[in-house]
Chain A
Amino acid sequence: MALSSKQNRGWIFLKSVHFRIFIITVTVFCLFCSLLVGASIRNWRSSRQEQIRSEADRYANMIASEIDSRKTMETLDGYYINSYTRVLLVDSEGIIVKDSLQLKVGEQIPAETFKAVMGGETVSETEGTLYLVYVPICDSDSKTVTGTVVVLTDMSSLDHEIETGKDRLILLTVIFGLPTACLFYLIIYLSIKPLKKIIYWLEHFSQPEVRKYARPKHKTEDEYASIVEAVDEATRDFLTMDQSRSEFVSNVSHELKTPLSSIKVLTESLLLQEGVGEEIYREFLQDINSEIDRMNNIINDLLTLVRLEEGEKVMNPSPVSLKELLEVILRRVEPLGREKNISLVMEECEDLTIEADETKLTLAITNLIQNAIKYNREQGSVIVSCTKKVDAIHISVKDTGLGIDKVHFDKLFDRFYRVDKARDRNSGGSGLGLSIVKKIISLHRGEILVDSVVGEGSTFTIVLPVERDSEGDEE
């Protein structure tokens, strides 16, 4: 078991990111070094070959000129060059008269090259790895060729030099390669190390203490810091969403519980009392009915909100004439205003056409006007207007009601948020109206603004961006 565990650890190590990066880095490094060494050896070989050739040429010319000045071909003493070079003196008949190795004296050299040299030319040629230079020896008096100096250099000796050089390179590789590889490994290991802390942090993320205290800290703004930041942000979003969902469930339960409690109290009262008159029954049943209506409103608004949450796919845009739309809405809510003795006025409205979902926009504007009527004072007024600004259309609903304190502005569009809880419930609102308005307007890529003075009234302004097409239509 222990062995198996060790083997597993070995495999995990081989598959680890830092080992793989290490292998890739070292492989690239080795390939680069190999190419560099290969190119260096090739360059060195060719330059050494050139050097050997020029040395052979120089020696051949030097020997030829010295022999000419001494007018003798008796000796080659003192002309040792190196162990891979041989010097021959050849007479005018092509017979070797002197050999630095004293092995081939008296033998005839091949005629072809010799003929050219006897014509006075210096000839050099390569036979395999052998480089040969033929330099004619000229008599300075008679100007005739009396013989030839032949210098032969075996360039295969370079292979030996390269072998020696290669041995040194291998030694250098061993000396510097191991520390370099270790250094690579250390650098990569240290670079990857923060990832291990992040993995530990994520593995224990469900434990709040670990999540808080084992959070990796980074001094520099590197990729690891970005990962931790991204995880933090996602966690915050998740927690906010979770909290929001809990609040929503709590609010829905509370909102539905209130009418249910009323219904229960009303029904129990009827059941417990004997001999109740028909009038009382009717009154109680009307109250029960209105509570059921209220529940129904809440559920309908919730369903509307849920449908709107699905986003733009629920949108059904079409060209909408704003003036006509507002006139229709005002006609529809006029009975409500009349009931409360509130006048509905359409102040100014240009003949504007916008691309919008007519049903949803109608719902949003109707909600705002209904609120303006609901929270207005007796004999107050609601003024509706629509104007075109630079790049947006403003639809305003202004009331002469109690007004809203600025402290409520931030939460005004939250679900189930009420400025005056007791009064709102009595007015039969679900607490979702402004949330629905805001959602509809954001689906139209617009925004909603609030301006209010306590005691004087409020103005809700829907700002819808003007699209080029609708501008074109107007023009």
Chain B
Amino acid sequence: MIHFSRSHLAGMLCVYLILLMGCGTGKSSTFAAKGSMADLLSQEVTVKVYYLNEDRSALASEERTILLGPTEDISLGIMRALVDGPVETEHRSVIPRETRILDVRVKNGSCTVDLSREFQVNHEGTELLEKLTIYAIVNSLAETERIDKVQILIEGEKVDTYKSYLSIDHLLEPDMSFVE
């Protein structure tokens, strides 16, 4: 019969740490020096992004300056700004915590945003907040010239309803009625 004591667990923990350490990989450095194509194509842009207002009852806009890499679309920059949350103290974050952007692509005026499962799972779930979250994304992206409609995907798949109330299985157009 094997009896597990704290020493056993400490030993197991050591082994685990070693195992986890073994999985590490280095990251490569990014872009090139100034005066290059990378330098030419990188740029700072100012965009209008929608967050929750202070009492979380409507959307409030915020001007954000974002740095885009040489191959990064402005839509990706907007989504990053949404995920990062507001700068202004009276605004509240609209995207559920731990949400990751998997892909953002624009084609023929439609923007497809692919988000991780946490976007759906970690949402608080009231009807108003559902709508505010979705239209914060749609309205923010539609502020750019190239985007008219937005399709939201979860882990690469279309879903019928975001949480319980709002259908998101189709292209969504901006709705400014949620903006205060």
Contact = CB atoms under 8 A, between A and B. Distances in A.
A166 B23 contact: yes
Nearest to A16: B7
B164 interface: no
Contacts of B72: 83, 101, 154
A154 B25 contact: no
B74 interface: yes
A266 interface: no
Interface residues of A, number: 58
Contact of A129 (B19, B20, B29): B29
Contact of A33 (B6, B22, B29): B22
A84 B71 CA distance: 5
A83 B103 contact: yes
Question: Which of A26, A31, A109 lies at the interface centre, i.e. has the most chain B CB atoms within 10 A of its CB?
Answer: A26
A179 to B, nearest CB: 12
A112 to B, nearest CB: 10
B131 interface: no
B165 to A, nearest CB: 30
Interface of A: 6, 9-11, 13-14, 19, 22-23, 26-27, 30-31, 33-34, 37-38, 41, 77-78, 80, 82-86, 101-104, 107, 109-110, 113, 127-130, 132, 150, 152-156, 158-159, 162, 166, 169-170, 173, 177-178, 181, 185-186, 189
A262 B14 CA distance: 82
B21 A130 contact: no
B5 A154 contact: no
A166 B25 CA distance: 8
Contacts of A130: 31-32, 37-38, 70-71
Interface in B1-32: 2, 5-8, 11-12, 14-16, 18-25, 27-32
B16 A189 contact: no
B8 A129 contact: no
A26 B11 CA distance: 10
Question: Which of A11, A107, A128 lies at the interface centre, i.e. has the most chain B CB atoms within 10 A of its CB?
Answer: A128
A190 B96 CA distance: 50
5 contacts: A34-B23, A83-B71, A86-B41, A128-B38, A129-B28
Nearest to A128: B32
Interface stretch (B49-57, B87-95, B104-112, B132-140): B104-112
A186 B12 CA distance: 13
B76 interface: yes
B15 A154 contact: no
B43 interface: yes
B5 A13 contact: yes
Contact of B11 (A19, A150, A186): A19
